[in-house]
Copies of this chain bind each other. A is one copy, B any other.
Amino acid sequence: MKQTSGAQALWAALSAQGVDTCFANPGTTELDLVRGLEALPEMRCVVGLQENVCTGAADGYGRMRGRPAATLLHLGPGFANGIANLHNARRARTPIVNVIGDHMSWHLPYDAPLTSDIESLARPVSGWVHRIAGTDDVVPAAEDAVRQSLAAGGQGATLIFPADYQADPVSAPPGAAPAQEPQKASQADGYDHAQALGRLRAGRRIVFLLGGGGELSGLGVRAQRAVSRLASVLGAAAYAETFPSRSERGQGLPAFDRLPYFPEPARAVLDPCDLVVLAGAMPPVTYFGYAGHPSALVEPERLLTIAEPGLPVAERLERLADALEAPAYAAPVHALPPQPEGPLTPAAIAAVLARALPAQAIVSVEGGTCGYPFYAASAAAPAHTTLTNTGGAIGQGLPVALGAAIACPDRQVVALVSDGSTQYTIQTLWTMAHEGLDIVVLVAANHQYAILRNELRRGGAALGARAEAMTALDSPRIDWVGLAESYGVPATRAATAEELAGQLREAFARSGPALIEMAL
């Protein structure tokens, strides 16, 4: 009988637990893991040219599927390259299983060039870190990793796999697939329906905050409809959290705005309310600390938690709506913005995209320039899914779009991004071309770090010469069309709304990726 290597056993165990995709950037200490995949064609491997591409793609995949993809990363430095997008995934509560090859266990004491403290690097972005201790540990570790990735509402589970145990034969290969596909576990919590009902009835000015996530989250279809009924019967307002991991949007759904980013407008929403109802959202805090504003925007006594993030909240909201005899959900009809004309502006881009968006599209949004205007315009677009940057580590827009396209091959994916943030993981374009994915990348090219200039100008401050130089990206201007084409992604440039509309139509009609540079 042919022996099973530790590496083969790991992949088989992950596969048996429902992991079917690996975003990989392997190195020498992962070569037995690469060899171990030869016999497992059902594990799809997607190569990224830099590790943050892989981890961001695993985030996009996990947000859409609700179960983990694996990443395959090279030792401490390779893993480190992927930390930023794992940080975003942590904030999105995305299940991910990271597999890191390490030196032979007996080689570690010699402090060879690539040796580093992998655990110290992994812990800040992993709910669970485990170093495989021998070949007997491979299968249990793989099973634990999938289980752990789905715990706590979804988290990073990181396996460190020494090279010798990858190559060595295992005595007990993994068993068959579990009867049920693993899903994020429901956690027990202290929710009390009667108490919630009482507080809703007693509230005078109420606002709902909806948290993003899977189908049963606050920003899934069912919960949004229930909140719409509740808002109607209670005379309440409702907002999405500022950066939802995933939200359903478009025709047939309410047009909940996002809670504003800056503290002044956020407080204008929250301060007048005596009850802030958390439907799968965390208690709101300011993004950064701002002098003169409290970090916690709502005191605990004004908060009512229906469900914490990651818990299925839809059923509870529906029961509350029924108990309050709220009217049946009436789908609002949102009017599409008129077809804009002339030079591109963020509002024009939003309108063009909202009008052109195919049904069931997935939109990965990153960058301040177009994100908010699109959110406002997209209520009238066909039903679609939006993914935003949850953790503030920039460079997630393209990788998350990549992962979503791998997870949902039948859906059109759009990456609505800005030039500054897109540079961090620009190599993603190659994998989009390599895999021939239906992704349209829309780059708002204003050739500056606009978000930093906005922050520098807060309170009417002038932009100093140094600050201007350090936030300028216009010398030279990056040629986005040439850049995309050099990675094999067909690209065009649009300077007017009419050009954008035409190029977008063509890009959606064609299969495979495309990029449109939107000149602002």
A192 at the interface (CB under 8 A from B): no
Q: Decide yes or no: A52 and B81 within 8 Å by CB, A423-B427, A482-B485 being known contacts.
A: yes
For the complex formed, measure the closest distance between the CB of A504 and the CB atoms of chain B, giving whole angstroms: 22
A447-481 contacts to B (CB < 8 Å): 451-452, 455-456, 464-467, 469-470, 473, 475-481
Interface hit among A225-233, A299-307, A313-321, A390-398: A390-398
Tell me, in angstroms, the Cα distance from A288 to B116 when the chains sit together.
13
User: When the two chains form their complex, are residues A464 and B116 in contact, meaning their CB atoms are under 8 A apart?
Assistant: no
Tell me, in angstroms, the Cα distance from A420 to B25 when the chains sit together.
11
Residues of B contacting A288 in the complex (Cβ-Cβ under 8 angstroms): 28-29, 103-104, 107, 112, 114, 163
- State which of B50, B75, B289 has its C-beta within 8 Å of the C-beta of A424: B50
Interface hit among A31-39, A59-67, A131-139, A333-341: A31-39
- Digitize A49-77: 1 where CB-to-B-CB distance is under 8 Å, 0 elsewhere: 11010000000000000000000000111
For the complex formed, measure the closest distance between the CB of A24 and the CB atoms of chain B, giving whole angstroms: 6
For the complex formed, measure the closest distance between the CB of A378 and the CB atoms of chain B, giving whole angstroms: 22
Interface hit among A117-125, A175-183, A267-275, A409-417: A117-125
Residues of B contacting A430 in the complex (Cβ-Cβ under 8 angstroms): 423, 473, 476, 478
Tell me, in angstroms, the Cα distance from A383 to B286 when the chains sit together.
57
Q: Decide yes or no: A81 and B470 within 8 Å by CB, A113-B287, A164-B289, A464-B35 being known contacts.
A: no
- State which of B38, B75, B84 has its C-beta within 8 Å of the C-beta of A80: B84
For the complex formed, measure the closest distance between the CB of A460 and the CB atoms of chain B, giving whole angstroms: 14
A91 at the interface (CB under 8 A from B): yes
- State which of B31, B77, B390, B473 has its C-beta within 8 Å of the C-beta of A393: B77
For the complex formed, measure the closest distance between the CB of A462 and the CB atoms of chain B, giving whole angstroms: 10
A47 at the interface (CB under 8 A from B): yes
Residue of A26, A295, A434 with highest tally of chain B CB at under 10 A: A295
User: When the two chains form their complex, are residues A390 and B113 in contact, meaning their CB atoms are under 8 A apart?
Assistant: yes
Residue of A47, A78, A91, A424 with highest tally of chain B CB at under 10 A: A424
Query: Which partner residue on chain B sits nearest A108 by CB separation?
Result: B289
Residues of B contacting A16 in the complex (Cβ-Cβ under 8 angstroms): none
A285 at the interface (CB under 8 A from B): yes
A488 at the interface (CB under 8 A from B): yes
User: When the two chains form their complex, are residues A287 and B27 in contact, meaning their CB atoms are under 8 A apart?
Assistant: no
User: When the two chains form their complex, are residues A112 and B487 in contact, meaning their CB atoms are under 8 A apart?
Assistant: no
Q: Decide yes or no: A124 and B76 within 8 Å by CB, A87-B116, A243-B113, A393-B114 being known contacts.
A: yes
User: When the two chains form their complex, are residues A395 and B487 in contact, meaning their CB atoms are under 8 A apart?
Assistant: no
Query: Which partner residue on chain B sits nearest A472 by CB separation?
Result: B47
A45 at the interface (CB under 8 A from B): yes
A171 at the interface (CB under 8 A from B): no
User: When the two chains form their complex, are residues A45 and B466 in contact, meaning their CB atoms are under 8 A apart?
Assistant: yes
User: When the two chains form their complex, are residues A486 and B475 in contact, meaning their CB atoms are under 8 A apart?
Assistant: no
For the complex formed, measure the closest distance between the CB of A22 and the CB atoms of chain B, giving whole angstroms: 10
Residues of B contacting A87 in the complex (Cβ-Cβ under 8 angstroms): 76-77, 80, 116
A196 at the interface (CB under 8 A from B): no
Residues of B contacting A424 in the complex (Cβ-Cβ under 8 angstroms): 49-50, 81, 427
How many of A's residues come within 8 Å of B, CB to CB?
93
User: When the two chains form their complex, are residues B114 and A392 in contact, meaning their CB atoms are under 8 A apart?
Assistant: yes
User: When the two chains form their complex, are residues B393 and A285 in contact, meaning their CB atoms are under 8 A apart?
Assistant: no
A296 at the interface (CB under 8 A from B): yes
A324 at the interface (CB under 8 A from B): no
A83 at the interface (CB under 8 A from B): yes
A426 at the interface (CB under 8 A from B): yes
Tell me, in angstroms, the Cα distance from A452 to B74 when the chains sit together.
12
User: When the two chains form their complex, are residues A120 and B124 in contact, meaning their CB atoms are under 8 A apart?
Assistant: yes
A152 at the interface (CB under 8 A from B): no
Residues of B contacting A52 in the complex (Cβ-Cβ under 8 angstroms): 81
User: When the two chains form their complex, are residues B77 and A84 in contact, meaning their CB atoms are under 8 A apart?
Assistant: yes
User: When the two chains form their complex, are residues A77 and B391 in contact, meaning their CB atoms are under 8 A apart?
Assistant: yes
Residues of B contacting A479 in the complex (Cβ-Cβ under 8 angstroms): 485-487
A266 at the interface (CB under 8 A from B): no
A437 at the interface (CB under 8 A from B): no
Residues of B contacting A78 in the complex (Cβ-Cβ under 8 angstroms): 84, 393
Leading 7 A-B pairs by shortest Cβ distance = A104-B289, A107-B289, A476-B488, A77-B393, A482-B486, A80-B83, A483-B486
Binding site for B on A (CB under 8 A): 24, 26-29, 31, 34-35, 37-38, 41, 45, 47, 49-50, 52, 75-78, 80-81, 83-84, 87-88, 91, 103-104, 106-107, 109-114, 116-117, 120-121, 123-125, 163-164, 167, 243, 285-289, 291, 295-296, 390-393, 395, 420, 423-424, 426-427, 430, 433-434, 451-452, 455-456, 464-467, 469-470, 473, 475-483, 485-488
9 A-B contacts (beta carbon < 8 Å): A50-B424, A81-B81, A81-B395, A91-B113, A111-B285, A113-B391, A116-B125, A163-B288, A483-B483
